[in-house]
Amino acid sequence: MQIISSTGVKGGVGKSTFAVLLALKKAKQNKKVVLCDCDVECPNDYLILNQKLKNPEPIYQEFPKLNKKKCRKCGLCAKSCRNNAIFWVEGQYPKFILDLCTACGACWISCPYGAIEKKKVIVGKSFINKVKDNLWLFTGKSKAGISETGPIVKEVKKRAIEFAKKINADYLIIDTAPGAHCNVIHALLNSNKIYAVTEPTPLGAYDLEIILELTKILKIPTEIVLNKADVGNKKDIEKIAKRFDTKISIEIPYSEELIKAYSSGKLEKMVDLI
């Protein structure tokens, strides 16, 4: 199975459009395809595919919960927490500030009295939609207010990989969030190939360099998809491609028809664009 990711630092450049087009194209070629929307903060692929999210499965993380009967107010938990999520004053029970907690478990490992228990909390959900006989969509969605979304990405991707292996899929296509921090890194890891989607504007060029630096660190072969290729100046993008020893492998022209197809959930008729 090939794992192919669609990514880019800048938002709104067409990452999801490209990921969906690629999935539809491979499906049209009679391949078995699983598309996994790893933009768990703002998942949009299901809207583009005109789907209603189905088959929800909760995603949990374990957060600390104090058992006051066992706690001896020693403060070791607060000292072990590197996120300053535990507030402790001598002689008092520790207070857990869950907004700052990353659920790493340092507190329950360091507690000598087993006074910190684990409480399962739902941090998000994953969904599976059968879009066609040979195309499935996995969607991750974080609960609003949850700060650390990397673990949610990791879990939905794990579920998608397991499913893709079970059905013997030919392709797993990953659509990432914009940006370049942990939620994007988790989505990109283990990809066989990355497509960095961008636009021919100074913003697109600036952001392309950032994502290419990241994929270089990740050591994953990366090629460029230039969206709205005919709108701005392609030369700057070509220069960057050369510097990173890669190329623009796909160009998508600006097209009002594409925008309309995107908005109405009918991208299928546009697959020949890529």
Instruction: Write out the two tokens for 58.
Output: 């909760």
Closest approach, Cβ 28 to other proteins, in A, equals 23
Task: State the DSSP H helix or E strand holding residue 226, giving kind and residue range, or none if neither.
Answer: strand 222-227
Cβ distance 16 to 44 under 8 Å? yes
SS3 content of the chain, % helix, strand, coil (to 5): 35, 25, 40
Provide the minimum distance between the beta carbon of 229 and other proteins in the complex, in angstroms, as a whole number.
14
From the number of C-beta atoms within 10 Å of its C-beta (0-12, 13-18, 19+), residue 215 rates as: buried
- List the structure tokens of 168: 């013997």
CA dist 31 and 4 (Å) reads 14
Stretch in the footprint of other proteins (CB under 8 A) among 29-37, 87-95, 140-148, 245-253: 140-148
CB of 62 to other proteins, least distance (A): 9
What secondary structure letter does DSSP report for 97?
-
Choose the binding region for other proteins from 64-72, 105-113, 115-123, 238-246 (rule: CB under 8 A). Answer: 105-113
Tell me how far CA of residue 167 lies from CA of 8, 133, 200, in angstroms. Answer: 29, 12, 39
Binding residues for other proteins, rule CB under 8 A, total 56
Shortest distance in whole angstroms from residue 168 CB to other proteins: 26
Contact 40, 159 (CB under 8 A): no
User: Judged by CB, which is closer to other proteins: 55, or 233?
Assistant: 233
| Measured distance CA(214)–CA(197) in Å, rounded | 14
In the complex with other proteins, which residue's Cβ is closer, 1 or 218? 218
Length of the chain, in residues: 274
CA dist., res. 110 & res. 188, Å (int) = 33
- The single residue among 29, 92, 233, 249 that binds other proteins, judged by CB under 8 A, is 233
- x/- contact string, 195-214, with other proteins (CB under 8 A)? ------xxx--xx--x--xx
Site for other proteins in 144-173 (CB under 8 A): 144-149
Mask 49-88, x = binds other proteins (CB under 8 A)?
A: -------------------------------x-xx-----
Question: Nearer Cβ to other proteins, position 64 or 169?
Answer: 64
| 29-30-36 Cα angle (round to 5) | 90
Paired residues of 139 in beta bridges: 37, 127
Question: Is 125 one of the binding residues for other proteins (CB under 8 A)?
Answer: no
Q: How far is the CB of 212 from other proteins (least distance, A)?
A: 9
CB of 30 vs other proteins, minimal distance in Å:
29
- Interface residues with other proteins (CB under 8 A)? 9-13, 16, 39, 41-42, 44, 47-48, 80, 82-83, 102-106, 109-110, 142, 144-149, 177-185, 189, 201-203, 206-207, 210, 213-214, 217-218, 231-233, 259, 262-263, 265
